[in-house]
Amino acid sequence: VKYMEHFYPEFIPRMSSVKSPQQIVGVLTKTFFADRSGIDRKKIFNVSIMPCSAKKFEIQRPEHRLDDGTPEMDAVLTTREFGDLLKLFEIDVPSLPESPFDPILGDATGAGLIFGVTGGMMEAALRTVAAVLDPHTEPRMEYSALRGTGGIKRGSVLIGDQEIKLCAVNGLANARKVLDEIKSGREEIHFLEV
């Protein structure tokens, strides 16, 4: 969001208004879970472990506070920082005993599992759109073509008779390339995930 505000403000009206998964979990933890568990939300300290250091800035934005001023998420560790902590405290994750998934908010879904990978949010959203528009037909799309960590991934999906052009990018340098192509009219993309 900050990147778009500074470099591509003309695209802000086209951006999704949906909170990131990190912030959604923060809100649910400090509202729904806190209320259901009888815990004062101000006593909950949410820590997110994320691959992107931009998430540290995201939690500081004023729109990511609850009505009473409580932050939705309190701290962010990058996956690298988390790995460093595991090493510092000599925690060998593979040797830890398995434990069941905490079903605090119910069962996980396939769409939820892919949300954290490049192209995963796009795929989850498209699955939902396709299911709403035509619940009997799976969209014709090679989902795996948009996943992974490689630079710029393009694809398309047919929902009904509408072809939706897709692009998933990893990193702001790749985002700049694609946004410049869209801005110049050289590229037509209906759904871009960064």
Lowest pLDDT segment from 38-42, 162-166, 189-193: 162-166
Positions of E strands within the chain? 47-50, 75-78, 152-159, 162-169, 191-193
Range 114-131 average pLDDT: 72
Query: In this model, does residue 41 exceed pLDDT 80?
Result: yes
> Residue 185: left (phi > 0), alpha (psi -120 to 50), or beta?
left
Domain boundary among 76, 107, 138: 107
For residue 14, the enclosing domain spans: 1-107
> What is this structure's pTM?
0.72
CATH code of the domain containing 146:
3.40.950.10
* Residue 30, pLDDT score: 96
> Residue 171: left (phi > 0), alpha (psi -120 to 50), or beta?
left
Q: Kindly state whether residues 61 and 152 are assigned to the same domain.
A: no
* Residue 98, pLDDT score: 93
Residue 102: pLDDT band by 50, 70, 90 thresholds?
Answer: confident
Q: Kindly state whether residues 7 and 58 are assigned to the same domain.
A: yes
Domain boundary among 107, 139, 158: 107
